Amino acid sequence: MPVRPVISGVGSPDALGQALAGAQYLASEPLATAAYLALALGKPLLLEGAPGVGKTEAAVALGAVLSRRIVRLQCYEGIDAAAALYEWNYPRQMLAIRQAGEGHLNLYADEFLLERPLLEALRAPDDCLLLIDEIDRSDHEFEAFLLEFLSDFQISIPETGTIRAARAPVVVLTSNRTRDLHEALRRRCVYHWIDYPDPALEAEIVMARASTVARSTADAVVASVNLLRAEPLAKPPGVAETIEWAEAATLLNSQGAAWPAAFRRAIGVALKDQDDLTYMAQRFDAVLPGEAA
């Protein structure tokens, strides 16, 4: 398997990590390593982790670093090849048949083909990044189909023939691990398990993403979010919730609310489940951030 010419300006995992940081995504070192290896070896990158740890964000940042547009395929239960690959534009075909009358007509010309994400990525492997989101929500059949796609990067359209990518496109898959993916699929990919970032890194992320938040506020919010994650909640707050909570509390504070009260009133952006809120209601004082200057 030939090693790709390494992407310009990204000659090592550290360089990739810095480039990602430039794209507002602070990657941990193992993640930068995994992403670098995926790019260099031309393999898909499979990111697994709890909801809200920034899997999709990582893919978007990677797209920004490589200056490629993101082609996103959102998986769902029952997704089929038609939604992922291509469909024929039936109404236009009908019209064309009517208009052609006696004339010659190629019913399966490109103009009647509706590109879906996988086909789009195959046709422009050099300027897009294919993001296959939440693959664990799709069915096993679709996974098997995807396996074939990811090993050959070609699609057979019965009416026209086979479309093959000149080069393997950059592919990122994400999974919330609501079910286990097939071993064969995991083997095809470079794998990384994204965990919740450690407190220092998460505070950095909050600072990078929310410009209005003071350092002390970020630290306080991250500390209490980590306490919340230790509780048995239905929906533990992800990184996005941390950022929103810090922003919301800062906003309320700037309008004159005192700190602990501001945090408490903004809790709705961190906990988004009624049961979690009632469960935490009696224990708020234990996890609420204290004074943040």
Per CB under 8 A, residues contacting other proteins are 1, 3, 6, 12-13, 29-30, 33-34, 36-38, 40-41, 43, 46, 48, 50-51, 76-80, 88, 90, 93-94, 97-98, 100, 107, 136, 176-180, 183, 186-187, 189-193, 195, 232, 234, 275
Nearer to other proteins, 36 or 259 (CB): 36
Cβ 107 to other proteins shortest distance, Å: 5
Nearer to other proteins, 176 or 226 (CB): 176
**Residue 45, both tokens:** 């990158």
Q: Which residue spans within the chain are E strands per DSSP?
A: 45-49, 69-74, 86-88, 113-115, 128-133, 154-157, 161-164, 170-175, 190-194
DSSP state of 169: P
Nearer to other proteins, 76 or 261 (CB): 76
> Edge to edge, what strands does the sheet with 69-74 contain?
69-74, 128-133, 170-175, 45-49, 190-194
Nearer to other proteins, 149 or 263 (CB): 149
Cβ 151 to other proteins shortest distance, Å: 10
Cβ 242 to other proteins shortest distance, Å: 18
Q: In the beta sheet, which residues pair with residue 115?
A: 86
Cβ 116 to other proteins shortest distance, Å: 15
What is the three-class DSSP state of 171? strand
Q: What is the dihedral of CA 7, 13, 19, 25, to 10 degrees?
A: 130
Cβ 70 to other proteins shortest distance, Å: 22
- Find how far residue 266's CA is from the centre of its chain: 26
Nearer to other proteins, 127 or 180 (CB): 180
Q: CA-to-CA distance for 261 and 248, rounded, in angstroms?
A: 12
Nearer to other proteins, 127 or 159 (CB): 159
Cβ 191 to other proteins shortest distance, Å: 4
